[in-house]
Amino acid sequence: MRIEDLISMAADARKNAYVPYSDFRVGAALLMDDGSVYTGCNVENASYGATNCAERTAIFKAVSEGHRKISAICIVGSKEGSFAFPCGICRQVISEFSDENTKIIVAKNEENYIVRSVAELLPDAFTPNDL
Ligand SMILES: [Zn+2]
């Protein structure tokens, strides 16, 4: 799958964002190691703390369907001109289901994106190997 296609799917998923408080829409698209794709959006809550990010929405959908390894995850935010990098909690969750080959793609649009590894976004991560 082309990176541009994953970006397009993340941008589509962003349309479903439930963001009555921040109006900050985020979409994510996941490519799993078996070729399956899952998308997610951020879902806010009146309590604020119960809010879930787009990346975790997509990952939890995939894991709940039996998938475990992320080949690539793409995140598209809503602010023109800025990249929406994953928050700390999402970096930890991405790490749980990733390896050194997983691509984390943070995109403004299909022409403008950054690709990072998990180690770049979460160096010295706490992993299942640390238990
Ligand atoms: Zn997050």
Domain ranges across the chain: 3-130
Distance 90 CA to ligand 1 centre (A): 4
10 with 47: CB under 8 angstroms? no
pLDDT at 78 over 90: no
CATH of domain 3-130: 3.40.140.10
> Which residues are placed with Cβ below 5 angstroms of ligand 1, an ion?
53, 87, 90
Instruction: Please state, in angstroms and rounded to a whole number, the distance separating the CA atoms of residues 27 and 42.
Output: 7
Of 44, 55, 100, 110, the active-site residue reads 55
pLDDT of the residue at 81:
78
Distance 35 CA to ligand 1 centre (A): 24
Distance 10 CA to ligand 1 centre (A): 15
Our measurement of the distance from residue 124's CA atom to the centroid of its chain's CA atoms, rounded to an integer in Å, reads 20
Q: Which residue has the tokens 């929405």?
A: 57
Mean of all residue pLDDT scores within the chain:
96
Question: Residue 41: how many CB atoms within 10 A of its CB?
Answer: 22
Tens-place pLDDT, residues 52-77:
999 999 999 999 999 999 999 999 99
Q: What are the φ and ψ backbone dihedral angles of 104, each rounded to 5 degrees?
A: -110, 115
pLDDT at 80 over 80: no
pLDDT at 22 over 90: yes
Tell me the C-alpha to C-alpha distance, in Å, between residue 81 and each of 23, 26, 84, 98, 128. 16, 14, 10, 28, 36
pLDDT at 97 over 90: yes
Q: Is residue 55 annotated as a catalytic residue, yes or no?
A: yes
pLDDT at 33 over 80: yes
pLDDT of the residue at 51:
98
Distance 131 CA to ligand 1 centre (A): 23
* Across 22-27, average pLDDT: 97
What residues pair up with 89 in beta bridges, in sequence order? none
Confidence (pTM): 0.95
